[in-house]
Every structure is written in C-alpha cells, then in structure tokens.
Structure 1
C-alpha cells in the first residue's frame, strides 16, 4: 500500500500565505467561486450544514465540492457560553482521486478572509468610487479583514470609524491599523453611544456589519443616499443586524446564495415574510453580477444601482464552496512553497 502523507497547515502557515497574497487575487478567487456557483448547473455541491451541540459550543459541519476546484469539509465551533477567544475552525481537503484527506488546514483566518473578499468584491462594484468614509461594526477577525481588503480596493477612503461593545480588543486593533495606514484617520465608538453611532452612519459611504447581534445596530433613517452596506454577521432567522428601514432602502438585495439566505438571513427573510419584497424579484446572487474574472456583467448591475443616490446592500451568510475554494487555494500555494508539515498517515 502506498504511503499517504497529510499536509498540516497551522494558523501561522495560513496567515503567512494570506499576507503574501494580493488583495485582487483574493477577490478574483471569490469571483470565480461565486460565478461558478450561480451559473454552472451541477458544478457546486453544497449540502446544508449540520450542527452538533456540546457543553460549550455549537459545532457546525459544512461539506462542499466545486467543479475544477476540489472537495472539502469545514468544521467550526461557535462558542455558546460567552467565550471571547475566537471561533475555532478547521478545513479538511479531500484528494479527488483517492478519497483520502490530503490536508488539514487551520481555517480561523480563512473564514474571515473569504467573507471579507466577498464583501470587497461587492464593494468594488457597488460602492461609490469616490467613497471617503468607512464604518465598521465589530472588532473581531471579520472586521479586521474587511478593513484591510476594503482599504486596498478603495484607496479614496480617508476615515474609518469602528464600533464595538467594549474597548479592549478594539483599542489594540486600532493601534495596529494606525501604524499600517498612517494617512487614514481612525475613530472608535464604544458601547451604546447612539448619538455618535447616528453621526457615523450619516457620514458613512460604506458600512460593514460584522457582529453576532440579534437586534439592529443603528437606525436605517440615518443611512445616507448612495451608501453601500455589507451585512455579514447575522446567520439565523432570528438575528437582525440592520433594521427594516435599512433593508427597504435597497432597490435589490445582492446575496451570496439565495437558497442559503432564505434559511439564515434574518432581517431579509422578515422583509419577504411581511410582504415588502419577494425572493424572485428582490434578491440577486453576486455570482450573476460578476464574471469568472471578477468583472461586472454589463447591464445586470443597473437593476441594483440605477442612480448614484441608490443604497446598495450585499448580504452574506457564507457558503461552503467559499471555504473549499480558499482552502484549496492556500493548499496549492503551500505545496508550491513546501510550507507546512507532512505527516505520514
């Protein structure tokens, strides 16, 4: 029997490979993934995730396969007792020929980056090219990845405001960001300072909600004409990061997956259930807006933004083919550079 070697990629391995990647390469990776998912019949297998509950976590199992990419399963443990150490995640990549596991990849950073790359792709095509103010809700890995990628694709941004419930992790992140981006003004809002939040929302050209809240973070009446929103935090029918005023401002909601969002996008499901929008006429997948190279499909985007004053929203609950795509991509780079530990299995 032939010897099987499994490549183990640690968090530091994965982080070094991601840091070496250009932002546009990550956006193009997600564009190919979304385009294939939405346009090539039978190319994606995405069973709905399974959940197992433990004493301290809700463990999610998310298998997927994408044509010409590969097959993988991501395992994520979501804390249920208020832990603040982050969300453990691992992706197993399967050998298409043998059916064996060929890599074990620490996915803690991958999840944040693949989500932010999807938001950045939407932001590139839907936000104003002269945007100057970015507003982020949350201070975790998702928020940091959104800031890094959106600053990279929107160099016109000069002001970034970040809200979080508490100061500790927020202060540390902002200190690092100020060093990395000395030409950008960073401002923080802590807790329930509604007047400060309202002011920041009114100024924001781009808003990203990256929290696990179940109640809206701000008043949609304060969202200014022409703003673009990336909503990535809520992932169950009873979670609502943004209110119904915000949702209703979009001519059409851009989503990562219509079927996934029907099950998990709380505030957007509510709008449909209450009769203010329909799935068929009110939602469109981002994979139908962009081609496999990440370029906008002519004419389609006009249904989303017809006037400069239109508000646009991208809603992402995350689809497992994104995890398959980015894990396979990282594994390919690791194999080329001989990064990681090969373990005889």
Structure 2
C-alpha cells in the first residue's frame, strides 16, 4: 500500500530551511522566468473574494500556478488581507498548498515570510538591472513587514549603499529600524518631501489607498519601485522615461495597482511598456543613464509556488515539518 500526505511547515521551519535567503529566492525567480518563457510554467489570474462587512472589510485571494523543471510543482497560494489590526497583529495571512505535477500531494507552507522575501527579491533584481545610475542613497517608504524585509534585502545585497532614508506617516512605527545596526547610515525623514530628495532609488512599501508619490518624485538617474497597491499617481507615471512591470498579464484588467488602474482608465497603452522582469534578467533591456525609471511590482504567484516547492524539497530531505497522511492507496493486485 502507498500512503499519500502533506508535509506542513510553520514560519519557524520555513526560516530554518532558508525561507529568508534572498540569494536563493532571486535564483528561483530567474529560473522560473526562463521556464515561463519556455512554456514550462503558467499561472491563472487571481480569484478575489471580497470579505467586506460593515465593520470588517477585507479580501481573500486564491492564486494558482504550476512550475516545471527542478520545482515540479502545482499549487495554490491562499491569502487574506484585512485592514490594519492592533499593534503587533498581522493584517495579512498567507498559506501555500503544493502538489507534484503528477498530482501527488506535497505540502502546506506558511507563506507570510516567503511572500515578503519573494517581493524583496524581485525588487533586488529590479535594483540590480533597472537602476539608471549607481545606488548609494535609497529611500524606503512604509514601516510594515514589506518595508522591514526590503531594508534587510538592501543591507544584505547592496554593499555600495551609503545611506538609507525611511519615512512613515506614523513616525513611531519606525522605532524598530532605529534600534538595530545597519551597514549604512539610517536617516528617519521628517516628511515625505524630505524622504524623496536626492535619492537614487525610491522603494514604496506602504498600504496607501490613495497615491502619495507625485510628479516631484520623478528625477533623472532615479528608479522608483512600487511595491504597494496604489502609491504612485497617474501624473507621475506619465512623466517617467521608462515604465517596467514584472509581467503584463490578464490581472491588469482587475488589479488595483496604480499602473493597471491607469491602463483601464485609458491613460497607459501597452506599447509604452519598456520591459518586463524577464527582459531585465535576460539582458534584453537596460536603462539609459540619466533617465527616470518606474517599476510596478505586481507579485507573481509563479514565484510563490516555486519558493514553497524549494523549501518542501529541503524539508523532505531533512525530515523537517509535520507529515499528515491524507489517503492510503491499495497495493497492486498479484
């Protein structure tokens, strides 16, 4: 008889298996993009379930994808996003369910950390390949998990950065950043305007419902990364010399990302798109020195499935996590 089941990994186990490894995540993303272009990886548009009630609005998202090659995975990321909760309480929860491509169950992975690392790894690739000039001064907007993960990514991946400026609408929410040592000078800006002055890259990691980055943030030799949902104004996007995305997909018809809202409003045509993330990592596009570049990071479920599959492979090999039987198949008849 054969027993099929799933291996469950909690946040601590994900961390112990390398879930916070930016280099590994970047390598996963590069491989997945090559598989996608070769027809060996696919994803479907997200399924959105509104959770709105009078006192508790929110959304649940189902994000399916499959990835071949070394990942051998088909899966679903299930993510719930709620309004800001109390101090110390998360406003989102993510879990990824993975099967082998032949259908056999594989595992269930807590994916809050993986989501943040995946997003920061995409940002690292954009900073590496899409910045029009040297990166010595960077600003990070926001104080949540994405902002924290991006600061860690900058510290670990870009030794040439000399100063990082941080800003948040609630300055006290940045206390965590000032209480640890960084390999660069860390400055807390008193205003958004101050935070955007004289920087080579601007990383927008906020939960802003309305644009907070306007035309004055567009400058020569500057890369602006939009990680949050609706942070950059249409007028600002129109002024950038080059507009990039991780992928121009069907999700542009429903996503609340600034660029896709702009497209649906008839103010951004696909012909104006300079490059995708695949173009960047394949070397098919590089920025013009002195130009202004905008990168919209949607967040591809292809990457979520791949990262979870890599950790599950390691967990199986090292016997990490709890294994739960699901189904016992009868043996072959003599």
Structure-2 change in CA distance of 1:132 and 1:333 (3 Å): same
Q: Is the 8 A contact 1:7 1:343 kept in 2?
A: yes
Name structure 2 gaps, 5 residues minimum: 327-334
Cα shift readout 1:260-303 (whole Å, capped 9, x = no counterpart): 34532543235445665420332422112223xxxxx2xx324x
Q: Is the 8 A contact 1:206 1:229 kept in 2?
A: yes
Query: After the TM superposition, which residues 220-299 of structure 1 pair with which residues of structure 2 at under 5 Å, given as runs?
Result: 220-234=215-229, 240-259=230-249, 260-264=251-255, 266-272=257-263, 277-291=268-282, 297=283
Q: Identify which range, 10-19 or 202-211, moves more after superposition.
A: 10-19
Aligned pair partner of 2:168 in 164, 167, 170: 164
Q: Are residues 1:344 and 2:325 paired?
A: yes
Structure-2 change in CA distance of 1:327 and 1:3 (3 Å): same
Q: Is the 8 A contact 2:279 2:285 kept in 1?
A: no
Query: What secondary structure, in the 3-state scheme, does the structure 2 residue paired with 1:88 have?
Result: strand
Q: Which residue of 1 aligns with 2:79?
A: 76
Query: What secondary structure, in the 3-state scheme, does the structure 2 residue paired with 1:134 have?
Result: strand
Query: What secondary structure, in the 3-state scheme, does the structure 1 residue paired with 2:299 have?
Result: coil
Distance 1:338 1:129 in 2: 45
RMSD: 2.3
Q: Are residues 1:33 and 2:23 paired?
A: no
Distance 1:35 1:73 in 2: 21
Distance 1:273 1:252 in 2: 19
Aligned pair partner of 1:106 in 97, 105, 110: 110
Structure-2 change in CA distance of 1:35 and 1:174 (3 Å): farther
Structure-2 change in CA distance of 1:151 and 1:129 (3 Å): farther
Distance 1:316 1:262 in 2: 15
Q: Which residue of 2 aligns with 1:294?
A: none
Aligned pair partner of 2:295 in 311, 314, 328: 314
Distance 2:197 2:215 in 1: 10
Structure-2 change in CA distance of 1:339 and 1:49 (3 Å): same
Structure-2 change in CA distance of 1:83 and 1:61 (3 Å): farther
Larger gyration radius, structure 1 or structure 2: 2
Aligned pair partner of 2:285 in 293, 301, 316: 301
Quote how far apart the aligned CAs of 1:137 are.
Answer: 1.1
Q: Is the 8 A contact 1:46 1:64 kept in 2?
A: yes
Q: Is the 8 A contact 1:58 1:80 kept in 2?
A: no
Q: Identify which range, 51-60 or 72-81, moves more after superposition.
A: 51-60
Cα shift readout 1:178-210 (whole Å, capped 9, x = no counterpart): 2xx2x4111224xxx5xx321221221111111
Q: Which residue of 2 aligns with 1:24?
A: 23
Q: Is the 8 A contact 1:34 1:256 kept in 2?
A: no
Q: Is the 8 A contact 2:126 2:280 kept in 1?
A: no
Q: Is the 8 A contact 2:41 2:302 kept in 1?
A: yes
Q: Could you tell me the TM-score, scaled by structure 2's length?
A: 0.86
Q: Could you tell me the TM-score, scaled by structure 1's length?
A: 0.83
Q: Are residues 1:326 and 2:307 paired?
A: yes
Work out the number of aligned pairs and report it: 317
Query: What secondary structure, in the 3-state scheme, does the structure 1 residue paired with 2:254 have?
Result: helix
Distance 1:214 1:246 in 2: 16
